[in-house]
Amino acid sequence: MKIFIAGIGGTFMGGIAQLANAGGHQVRGCDANLYPPMSELLQAQNIEVARGYLAAHLGDPPGTVLIGNALARGNPMVEHILNRALPFQSGAEWLREQVLKNRSVIAVAGTHGKTTVTSMLAWILTCHRQSPGYLIGGKPGNFAGSAELGDGKYFVIEADEYDTAFFDKRSKFVHYRPHIAVLNNLEFDHADIFADTAQIMQQFHHLLRTVPGNGYVVVNADDARLTQVLAMGCWSQVVRFSIAEDSAAAKASPVAEWRALPHDAACSRFAVFHHQQLTAQVEWQGIGRHNMQNALAAMAAAELAGVPAARAGQFLRDYQPVERRLQLLFESEQARVYDDFAHHPTAIRHTIDAVRAKHADSYVIAVVELRSNSMKMGAHGEALTHALADADWAIVAPGGNLEKTPGMRRRRNIVQLQQASEIISTIRLKLTGNDVIITMSNGSFDGLPKRIANFFAELKK
């Protein structure tokens, strides 16, 4: 079958392209922009991609057209498809009909950590020889592509609450019908489509309505909003996990069946308890309490899929993070450069905290691009300022028009810069000889992370 994917450069639609290609379909697509890692993943599979949304890209006949949620009414390709009454679907709808309907789906939802937990689960199930299918919203370190059909029982998917398409404003995850739903956390985000947190909670409630009674909801017991979501209605078996601080009360609490307790500040080693019994010891490359929580969520879900926690903990020793999730780009005795996908104040704070814990004596410089729609709209207000407070120095690179970026309270350790050359020059002036630089953006940041890494590589020579 011919399949044309409009908006193929996004991580979700790019994953759909890889699955369709693996399924023997003739796949082509287009997008306004295409950049790594998705450009590299599509190229590796010889999937043809045209630039822009010209109707001529479709060909005649185009076959089935899958339309990503980046395309709206007024887009020339959308108008052409509607005017000619060409067949079209959303990527989520096609995925449900063509891939998920005969699989046991594990859907990973949450404001933060979806990509990481999904990749951990896919890796754990793969190591356990279950040959899972998966769709991951990034380039995983342990796999060649971000999506794979697999031939096992389970399909693991990153479950996004963002809307499905211009003609379907439901969250994408309501299409997946999971047997196991992982709810990692819930905060306000996507201000371009949600007015407040209550609307996002309602979408998570809709997700729970699709989980069968003999299915499972694996939920973060430390998140008060998720507790409220469960109170709105849950008809499935609930499994809770927690990373509450080490205490007798925390260990004895009947609320969370799964707990993780760190052995060091960086959480590079931690213990896992199930029903108050020590079940696994994990020593891995991950750092940060948020990543320990991600790992715990993955281990709890994997147990339901038949992988004992002790085995899952062993598999995590060889887990490689998804590209741009606290990815170490450069390291020397004087400096380290990390790149991260963080684009929400909470994620930014967690990333800085993780690096602080790992490199306690270093001078930390955070470089953040305000690229997400929520950031550009100023939806997070002063939260960004507070998120950057623990960095020794922070550089904020506003996207687009400076007048539309959030107004931040003046602090001596925060500066706004636009040009990459200015950012690198400022970093150079701030160096102490024991530095950690963290770049954070949900886009390519115009290649700035690698430019900073290359700058340090040149200094080392």
- CA angle in degrees (0–180, nearest 5) for 98-100-101: 80
**At 423, which CATH number?**
3.90.190.20
Tell me how many degrees the CA angle 334-337-340 measures, rounded to the nearest 5.
Answer: 160
Report yes or no on 97 lying in a domain: no
CA distances from 81 to 31, 89, 353, 430 (A): 16, 11, 48, 53
Q: Are residues 250 and 339 in the same domain?
A: no
Provide the pLDDT confidence category of residue 378 given band limits of 50, 70 and 90. Answer: low
Of the candidates 292, 318, 344, which is a domain's last residue? 318
Residues 268 and 334 in one domain: no
Which domain-ending residue is among 25, 60, 91? 91
Is 440 a domain residue?
Answer: yes
**Higher-confidence residue: 460 or 360?**
360
> Can you name the residues that pair with 4 across neighbouring β-strands?
28, 65
Q: What is the pLDDT of residues 135-170, one digit of tens each?
A: 999 899 999 999 999 999 999 999 999 999 999 999
115 lies in which domain range?
A: 103-318
CATH of the domain at 165: 3.40.1190.10
Query: 156 and 47 share a domain?
Result: no
Give the whole-angstrom CA distance, residue 175 versus residue 207: 9
Task: Give residue 425's pLDDT band: very low, low, confident or very high (50, 70, 90).
Answer: confident
pLDDT of residue 216: 98
> In total, how many domains does the chain have?
3
| pLDDT at residue 243, as a whole number | 94
> Where is 155: in which H helix or E strand?
strand 154-158
Residue carrying the six token digits 């450009």: 39
Instruction: Assign 249 a pLDDT band (cuts: 50, 70, 90).
Output: very low
CA atoms of 57 and 51, how far apart (whole Å): 9
Strand order in the sheet with 26-31: 48-51, 26-31, 2-6, 64-67, 88-90
Query: What is the pLDDT at residue 445?
Result: 81
- Based on the fold, state whether residues 191 and 114 are members of the same structural domain: yes
CATH code: domain of residue 82: 3.40.50.720
User: Does residue 192 lie within any of the structural domains?
Assistant: yes
* Residue 409 counted as domain residue: yes
CA distances from 307 to 174, 271, 311, 382 (A): 26, 17, 7, 43
Task: Looking at the structure, tell me whether residues 245 and 145 fall in a common domain.
Answer: yes
- From 255, 290, 318, give the residue that closes a domain: 318
Q: Is residue 123 part of a domain?
A: yes
Q: Quote the pLDDT of residue 377.
A: 54
pLDDT tens-digit series, residues 174-220: 999 999 999 999 987 767 777 789 999 999 999 999 999 999 999 99
One domain, residues 226 and 283: yes
Q: Specify whether 22 is located in the same domain as 114.
A: no
Both 248 and 300 in one domain: the answer is: yes
96 occurs within a structural domain: no
Residues 340, 407 contacting (CB under 8 angstroms): no
| CA 231/CA 233 separation, integer angstroms | 5
Residues 181 and 137 in one domain: yes
Contacts of 340 (CB under 8 A, 6+ apart): 324, 325, 326, 327, 347, 351, 438, 439, 440
**Do 111 and 65 lie in a common domain?**
no
Per-residue confidence (pLDDT) for residue 132, from 0 to 100: 98
Cα four-point dihedral sign 275, 310, 116, 46:
negative
Residue 376: predicted pLDDT:
53
DSSP codes joined into one string, 57-75: GG-SS--EEEE-TT--TT-
Question: Comparing 280 with 379, which gets the higher pLDDT?
Answer: 280
Pair 112, 196 in one domain: yes
Distance CA 42, CA 30 (A): 11
Within this chain, do residues 135 and 214 fall inside the same structural domain, yes or no?
yes
pLDDT in tens, 403-419: 444 445 555 677 888 78
